[in-house]
Homo-oligomer: A and B are copies of this chain.
Amino acid sequence: MEGAAPDPILRFTTLPSWQLSQTATHARRLLADGFAAVGATGYQYRVLAALEQLGAASQAELGRRSGIHLSDIVATINELAEQGFVERSPDPADRRRNIITPTTSGRRRLRTLDEQLTEIQDELFAPLSPGELDELTHLLTKVLDHHRERTNR
């Protein structure tokens, strides 16, 4: 904080897209670190979360709901299945599909990851008042909705 150089401010530092990107990078680092500490990834969390709310689903379904590419769903399900967090079984009604179901330990893991996520989020947005956080999500939602319409997702 004292001495050293005056740090010339680079132009792009003040661009909204830069700040957005930087903040997101920081958030992801916090998240990835927290998840990595227990051997999880963001994809795994998203799939488990989607699974909880869908009960059971095919991989294609999971991909659609969690916004993850099918090819990455395959890998993620592999990881989760190896660790015993989900089970992969063929769908008797449609033999192209696998039915993915969460196990008890999978549901427990989701709760663990949820707690971490909450903590990290609190830390990340600590400098904002509740009102400011609302405003931030409002603005981001506005941007997101606009592009969802234009690109159909």
> Which residues of chain A have a CB within 8 Å of any CB of chain B?
8, 10-12, 14-17, 19-28, 31, 45-46, 49-50, 52-54, 65-66, 117, 120-121, 124-128, 132-133, 135-137, 139-147
A20 to B133, CA, bound (A): 11
Q: Which residues of chain B have C-beta atoms less than 8 A from A20's C-beta?
A: 20, 23-24, 27, 136, 140
**A interface SS class:** helix
10 interchain pairs (CB within 8 A)?
A: A8-B53, A8-B54, A8-B65, A10-B65, A12-B46, A17-B31, A23-B24, A26-B147, A128-B143, A135-B139
| Known interface pairs A12-B49, A49-B11; A28-B19 also in contact (CB < 8 Å) | no
> 14 more A-B contacts (CB under 8 A) besides A8-B53, A127-B146, A136-B140?
A10-B50, A11-B49, A11-B52, A12-B46, A12-B117, A16-B140, A17-B121, A20-B24, A21-B27, A22-B140, A24-B24, A125-B143, A126-B146, A127-B145
Distance (whole angstroms) from the CB of A46 to the closest CB of chain B: 7
